Chains A and B, each alone.
Chain A
Amino acid sequence: MDSVPERRGVTVPYRSLTNFLERHISLPRINPSLYQLAAIVASLAYLYIDSTWGKASLVAFILLTDWLDGATARRQHGKTREGYLMDVTIDRASEMLIFAGEAGTPLGKVFFLLTLANIGLAYYSIRSGKHTSLPLRCAWLVVLVVGAVGG
């Protein structure tokens, strides 16, 4: 049980892009958990914000920190099971906070329930050795941007 669950083929285009970026940008040598802490602080800040653009900016920031923590960890330690578990744990907690704030709307309720399903998928990923998760925050960012543009 020491291995890291493999990414699914459907994520290859996205992973190719992020791997390319990882090779060509310089990253500060800091504890990757600082990015995870920043993601949680931003998820809490999300609960206090009413502006749709403000919310979209925060979700974009959270997604950026999610990528940066993984990229930093991989550069410093390679892929480790501990790092994978930490990343998945914080991702699920971040989703839970964001969608707790949105569960008052019908669409928010759907995303909140999908967050619960995502925790189940995290267990499935660990058991099966294949990483499976719903990109809920990415999808929510699209919803927010469409909502903001549409007025």
Chain B
Amino acid sequence: MKKFIVLLLVATLGYFMLDAFFAIDFGINHIKDLGSVSAQYLVNTKVLKVANAVTSIVVNFRGFDTLGEVTVLFLASTGLGSVLFRKRKVHTKLNPRRTSTESSKILTTAGKILFPMILLLGAYVFIHGHLTPGGGFQGGVIIATGFLLLLVTFRKFAVNHSTLTWTEALAGATFAGIGLFGLTVGKNFLENFLPTGTLNNLWSGGIIGIIYVAVGFKVAAELTGILDTMLSITVDVEDEESTEN
């Protein structure tokens, strides 16, 4: 009986979602209709001389939403850190994380070679956010996976949590500070006040590059903190299991 009700609910939801999906006019060119919002965004992106239209919308025209998104990420990482606070053991060089076996030679050698390359790729993605596809969030996640490689490979690798906290706080304050600085010059909050350079140059787009660098640092620091917190709790559970046995 319960399965029948669940199937009925899924069928009803599916019908209405498909109805809404087929009502969207895909493929219609809205650019000719200059009154629509999307056409205005594309026209103003060219005026602002930013090559990546998605970045200009995310950081400049809808910059306030990005500030909210960065806040949500901060709240998630803080919440996770506070929930797992008691089960976490702080690892330093003298008190390393004890795993069951030492990693193989291939993994340690390759990890040492790959880590700076992954950092370079992540930094490239968030520095060139206004030119190529990518941006702050993608670059930050790539840097966090680089740190994850080292955390999983080496037993003695420990990340200093106070450095992560300071980086995250300063990067978030930079983002909000640039927005507030726009108010002092006489424009709106998070509106562009620096001169826009030439198209396809690294120095173009005004404040967009600076904001994305700050977002890249913030996301990388947050995700590395989350991964380090989650990897630290495995040692406690192994200790409990070994004492139970």
Chain B binds chain A: no
Interface of A toward B, CB cutoff 8 Å: none
